[in-house]
Chain A
């Protein structure tokens, strides 16, 4: 037992050290030795569905052409998560409470911001966009919640009255999918305010972004960025190795070894807060028994997931989200405890229970869990589905499933979609009265320190009886040609490469 613990803490240390040296080492190499020059065309390969749909920045999450644009390249939001995880202003100059109810918010819009069509960003555009974000079927309407009134105070000021308090309203505006569009936005002529504008979009083949010279911030260096969707990871790696593309984004940890030690390439490896939860519905048997949920959380070998599934390119998690939120509770850590898990299962009388776990991606994590669960007398069979099948009629109904991805983000950005009142993605049917009361209280509390205390309690509850198993936070990995310069040392968002595009270039 002692050896076990020592081995684990040793491994943890080793992995931490490796991550540190990878990130730190790369950073010094990338930033100190190379300065990106202006100009050039950068080609990024990414794996995913090549079919591109109409450009609606508020809707589908799988569309690659929208995804790259929404990471503050073509479209920008009012506020933005910083690389470290805090909130900074983007298109807003300030977002301040209008009174002490946390329902009235005044948004001052940055002046002199130009859309790609030459029009200036004004209050009407912001109101149009916020209303559009609130339409049914969007990704991020749940962050803001119902709005009582939208008022244009002047051309650069909007006053919103919300139905329900949102003391963390600046956070609610920071989702990349809450981008600000010009009033009357037309998906056929997609314009935003970002450092890049849309160039040619070739169905199933490529999306080109061109530098926007009248950008309101620091202009981009590259002339253009070409995004290439790949269906096959090895074709993508081949294209990098034969010099056809400059970066492959979001690569699987197993590909890193393919270029390791080759000086023509470098690895971008940044810790993030993104995760793939395994979700358990808290309103149906047997998962309504908290002892089963806790037992599965206790029995999963997180270190094995980290090592074998992600080759060490991840960090241990304790079933909590919001890793880089300033109010994240780092003290809550979970050690594997098979004996305790087993006794919980026995106490609940669930020994021998058979469960079916439905997975989208991340099959390997599910297999680790299934293997571990045998030790406590739970038999899990894992079933894997493709995207179109996974998101079928049962998507909102499944009892035990995992594999869809949650981005890194502040606690309330995730909880307002997943476990807050009227959450849109409440597959776990979280109806914990104490939690929901505290949640509302937190949303009422404008005082940051007081809200932090409540947020800590919310995390305690999720830690003790939540419906998610979050074994690890996954690093963002990318492979780049050695001459690509300007990569950040660290970006918690998990979209570090996309977010870095305006500052990227080729070494001079």
Chain B
């Protein structure tokens, strides 16, 4: 049952990815201008453009270009970048690592913090902490990420305190891991961006569970509040939390574009931004497909976990 579900979802996922690649490819080509012209700039005389296009293989019909790219993908070859003239994978791989690092670091901070905050709020609803935190979370929920980023930069980097680097400039030849300080502001920004949603969702689902009849029964049985909370209420409230966490991770993967841009973080988001500006079609394809893949994968994992944790669905 579970396996059949996984296989069906995977097949659907692959089909979705195919559709996305088709849409991205043709949508990018509908954009005015192309990579050859972006490269040549003002030296884009008709002869120069024609020459460069044939060098880049852009003079072939779109369908032929797409099929050639598709053929490559089946051999795990993502094609060549028009701009760097090197393999797309060489551009995408280090950036994927950096974005995954940002994702991992953000989840390590945002998930536990949201979980603890949501739980504490749910245990004593209506009390000072709950009310204050609720106000804070609703307040921050309304602030766009880039505003949070600007506030954090002003506060911690450029104006008030000079504690952290304002942009994620990694020295040439070094990795983000060797310069963990550059992660702090992006992680904080993303944490503030997802915490309102996650924290309040965890609070709500735990409160639902705590108000349910089985919890009342457990309490009446004389179980200690700890056991009631951990074994009965929390376990049941985990399902929506996992769904929310998965959605959040998928969101961070794709939504990191803005944050990466602001902090010049060398991840997929900023690479996507410059690839679009320069119409570097296959780099755009690769990155969007990675985002889409992540989205599908996170949701699938969440589904599987949900099934595993819900006896009703397991059987």
Contact partners of A390 in chain B: CB under 8 A: 33
A residues within 8 A CB of B115? none
B293 to chain A, nearest CB (A): 22
Cα of A63 to Cα of B40 in the assembled complex, Å: 9
Judged by a CB distance under 8 angstroms, whether B285 is at the interface is: no
B-chain residues with CB within 8 Å of residue A242 when the two chains form the complex? 153, 157-158, 162, 164-167
C-alpha gap A385/B277 in the complex (Å)? 11
B268 CB → nearest A CB, Å: 11
A388 x B32 contact (CB < 8 A): yes
Most buried by A among B39, B41, B81, B158: B41
CB pair B33–A392 under 8 Å, yes or no, is yes
Would A396 and B33 count as touching, CB distance under 8 A? no
Q: Does B132 contact A (CB under 8 A)?
A: no
Picked from A50, A60, A228, A239, the residue with its CB within 8 Å of the CB of B43 is A60
* Residues on A with beta carbons closer than 8 Å to the beta carbon of B278: 49, 51, 387-388
Q: A61-B43, A139-B43, A388-B279 are in contact. Are A203 and B91 (CB under 8 A)?
A: yes
Instruction: Verify A199–B45 contact, CB threshold 8 A.
Output: no
Do residues B173 and A202 form an inter-chain contact, with CB atoms below 8 A?
yes
Distance A392 CA – B38 CA, assembled complex (angstroms):
8
Residues in A neighbouring B43, C-beta threshold 8 A: 59-61, 137-139
Of the candidate stretches B15-23, B137-145, B239-247, B259-267, the one touching chain A is: B259-267
| CB under 8 Å from chain A, chain B span 8-45 | 31-35, 37-45
Interface string of B84-98 (1 = CB under 8 A from A): 111000110000000
Bound-state CA distance A71–B263 (Å) is: 29
Contacts of B275 in A (CB 8 A): 51
Closest to A427 in B: B42
Given contacts A203-B91, A388-B279, contact A53 B85 (CB under 8 A): yes
Per the CB 8 Å criterion, the residue count for chain B at the interface is: 54
Q: A204 CA to B91 CA in the complex, in Å?
A: 9
Q: Is A386 an interface residue (CB 8 A)?
A: yes
Complexed CA–CA distance, A338 and B162 (Å): 53
- Which residues of A102-129 have CB atoms within 8 Å of chain B's CB atoms? none
A contacts with B: majority SS = loop
Asked if B166 and A238 make an inter-chain contact with CB atoms under 8 angstroms apart, the answer reads yes
Q: Does A404 contact B (CB under 8 A)?
A: yes
- Residue in chain B with minimal CB distance to A226: B172
B46 at the interface (CB under 8 A from A): yes
A380 within 8 A of B: no
Cβ of B52 within 8 Å of any chain A Cβ, yes or no, is yes
Our pick among B41, B81, B85 for the contact of A61 (Cβ within 8 Å) is B41
B270 interface contact, C-beta 8 A: yes
Report yes or no: B172 in contact with A206, Cβ–Cβ below 8 A.
yes
Task: Tell me the nearest residue of chain B to A202, going by C-beta.
Answer: B172
* Interface: A352 (CB within 8 A): no
CB contact between B32 and one of A54, A202, A205, A385 (< 8 Å): that residue:
A385
The answer, yes or no, to whether B274 is at the interface (CB within 8 Å) is yes
By a CB distance below 8 angstroms, the chain B residues around A226 are 172
Closest to A390 in B: B33
Contact B37 A137 (CB under 8 A): no
Asked if A101 is an interface residue, CB under 8 A from chain B, the answer is: no
A244–B167 touching, CB < 8 Å: yes
Residues of B within 8 Å of A389, CB to CB, are 31-33
Q: Give the Cβ gap from A17 to chain B, nearest Cβ, in Å.
A: 32
Residues of B within 8 A of A43 (CB): 169
* Supplied contacts A204-B266, A231-B261, 4 more A-B pairs, CB within 8 Å: A51-B280, A63-B39, A244-B167, A389-B33
What would 9 A/B residue contacts be, using CB atoms closer than 8 Å?
A59-B43, A136-B47, A200-B173, A235-B262, A238-B158, A239-B165, A385-B33, A387-B278, A404-B42
